[in-house]
Amino acid sequence: MSLITVNELSKIYQVRNRKKSQKHSGIINSFKQFVSLHGKYQCITAVNNISFTIDSGDTVGFLGPNGAGKSTVVKMLSGILVPTSGSLEVNGLIPHRDRMNHALNIGVVFGQKTTLWWDLPLSDSFDLLQVIYEITPQEYRTTMKWLVDILELEPILDRPVRQLSLGQRIRAEIAAALLHRPPVLFLDEPTIGLDIAVKQRIRAALRELNQEWGVTILLTTHDLRDIEEICQKLIVIDKGQMIYNGSLANFREQFCENRVIRVAFKDLHSANKLAQELPPEVMHMEQNGIWVSLYYDHTKTSAADIASHVMNKYTLMDLVIEEPSIEKTVAELYRGEVR
Ligand SMILES: Nc1ncnc2c1ncn2[C@@H]1O[C@H](COP(=O)(O)OP(=O)(O)OP(=O)(O)O)[C@@H](O)[C@H]1O
Ligand SMILES: [Mg+2]
């Protein structure tokens, strides 16, 4: 049975129209615009009839362009928002109906918000969470040790949260979300604004948490490297509707037709020669000194065929077969060029 089941889920926000006054100008006008509510409602369909399931231990990348409805789904899964229609269940509970018990089942990290106590030293925030979640002292010690280790928190435990850098704070947020050992972790843009070294540390920690603890992960991000390095499954939504739901491997297989092999020659002469007489299946090439990148359509030929074609004629120094990046395809998907 699935750990998370989402069935024909929709969310419509109702927002009040604010009508502009034509008579006044300047600050008064702005103020009038701000306060004049005309009681007319506008409906915004943020999530439109989506269904999916997530199994225990899955790592799911949740993608979509700005305004697609991702955060709205994460908020409904977390029990913060009530769906307009449809149903959802997380670990046997309906999030918005059974919020207290549901909170014990999930960890949530919103990259742009903090759940920690701003003025308290980080370790005091953790101590408070121990009390809130009624974690036994022994369990607390074991879990803390693990999290401090994985997320490298030791040097910042005594620092007040307000003094932490963004990267330090996000690592602390992830620890806080997992202190009660929930089976599920929802992350909404956890790597936003982080430098590449911190991103890599967080990705490694999330992989470890999934592999060692079996934590199920649903990750929203605009950094596709996060998805490529952490997730095995992918859900893509656009304008509140599902446009892809499947494995990352399938996504590559189905949509990313272009692959690349990079070959390095002993001398520039051979590299130039290959550039002039490309194997027939190669669609396009780029040369950078002794390195030549050969782009091919994987539905028409294979890396092995191209490699053997080149190696029959030339002596190579190096050969690299690259996994296709999903970035180009995801951009095409957002533009509606592939569906
Ligand atoms: N509280 C709200 N009231 C009214 N409309 C909202 C509210 N929150 C979100 N929306 C609207 O719902 C739609 C989906 O927003 P949501 O924040 O879920 O998108 P998102 O996929 O998370 O986008 P982003 O990648 O920019 O974070 C947008 O059109 C947004 O303007
Ligand atoms: Mg969002």
Query: Which of 70, 82, 191, 226 has the most ligand 1 atoms within 8 A of CB, as the residue to mutate?
Result: 70
215-273 residue pLDDT tens: 999 999 999 999 999 999 999 999 999 999 999 999 988 887 778 899 999 899 999 99
278 band by pLDDT with thresholds 50, 70 and 90? confident
Ligand 1 centre distance from Cα of residue 169 (Å): 24
Q: What is the pLDDT of residues 296-329, one digit of tens each?
A: 888 888 889 999 889 998 999 999 988 777 888 8
pLDDT tens, position by position, 122-145: 999 999 999 999 999 999 999 999
Q: Is the CB of 64 under 6 A from ligand 1?
A: yes
Average pLDDT, the chain: 90
Whether the CB of 279 sits within 6 Å of ligand 1? no
Span from the CA of 42 to the centroid of ligand 1 (angstroms)? 14
Cβ 77 vs Cβ 95: under 8 Å: yes
The three-state (H, E, C) secondary structure of the chain, written as one string = CCCEEEEEEEEEEEEEEECCCCCCCHHHHHHHHHHCEEEEEEEEEEEEEEEEEECCCCEEEEECCCCCCHHHHHHHHHCCCCCCEEEEEECCECCCCCHHHHHHHEEEEECCCCCCCCCCEHHHHHHHHHHHCCCCHHHHHHHHHHHHHHCCCHHHCCCEHHHCCHHHHHHHHHHHHHCCCCCEEEEECCCCCCCHHHHHHHHHHHHHHHHHHCCEEEEECCCHHHHHHHCCEEEEEECCEEEEEEEHHHHHHHHCCEEEEEEEECCHHHHHHHHHCCCCCEEEEEEECCEEEEEEECCCCCHHHHHHHHHHHCCEEEEEEECCCCHHHHHHHHCCCCC
Please give the radius of gyration of the chain, using alpha carbons only, rounded to the nearest integer. 25
- The Cα-based distances of 307 to 43, 257, 268 in angstroms read 56, 18, 18
Backbone angles phi, psi at 58, to 5 degrees: -70, 150
pLDDT beyond 90 at 21? no
Question: Cβ atoms within 10 A of the Cβ of 322, count?
Answer: 11
What ligand has the least distance to the C-alpha of 65?
1
- Four-way CATH pick for 257-323: 3.90.1150.10, 3.60.130.10, 3.30.70.920, 3.40.50.300: 3.30.70.920
Ligand 1 atom 11, closest CA:
46
Higher pLDDT, 278 or 190: 190
Q: Domain residue spans in the chain?
A: 55-253, 257-323
Judge if the beta carbon of residue 44 lies within 6 A of ligand 1: yes
Which ligand has the nearest atom to the CA of 237?
Answer: 1
171 lines ligand 1 (CB under 6 A): no
Which ligand 1 atom is the nearest neighbour of the CA of 237? 21
Residue of 50 and 255 predicted with greater confidence = 50
CA dist., res. 115 & res. 175, Å (int): 11
Q: Which residue has the higher pLDDT, 273 or 22?
A: 273
For residue 338, pLDDT over 80 is answered with no
**19 — pLDDT class (breaks 50, 70, 90):** low
Atom number, ligand 1, closest to the C-alpha of residue 65: 25
User: Are the C-beta atoms of 188 and 111 separated by less than 8 Å?
Assistant: yes
Mean pLDDT of 92-118: 93
Which one of 71, 218, 334 would you pick to mutate in the ligand 1 pocket, going by the greatest count of ligand atoms within 8 A of its CB?
Answer: 71
68 Cβ closer than 6 Å to some ligand 1 atom: yes
Q: What distance in Å separates the CA atoms of residue 61 and residue 74, rounded to the nearest whole number?
A: 12
Would you put residue 209 in left (φ > 0), alpha (ψ -120 to 50) or beta? alpha
Longest CA pairwise span in the chain (Å)? 81
Let me know the angle formed at the C-alpha of 114 by 178 and 185, rounded to the nearest 5 degrees.
Answer: 30
Q: Is 67 in the pocket of ligand 1 (CB under 6 A)?
A: yes
> Does pLDDT of 37 surpass 50?
no
The CB of 66 under 6 Å from ligand 1? The reply is: yes
pLDDT number for residue 10: 98
- The backbone region for 83, taken as left when phi is positive above 0, alpha when psi lies in -120 to 50, beta otherwise, is beta
For domain 55-253, which architecture applies? 3-Layer(aba) Sandwich (3.40)
Our answer on whether the CB atom of 150 is closer than 6 Å to any ligand 1 atom is no
pLDDT over 70 (residue 162): yes
How far is the centre of ligand 2, averaged over its atoms, from the C-alpha of 70 (Å)?
6
72 Cβ inside 6 Å of ligand 1: yes
Tell the residue nearest (CA) to atom 4 of ligand 1: 13
User: Ligand 1 center to residue 335 CA distance, Å?
Assistant: 19
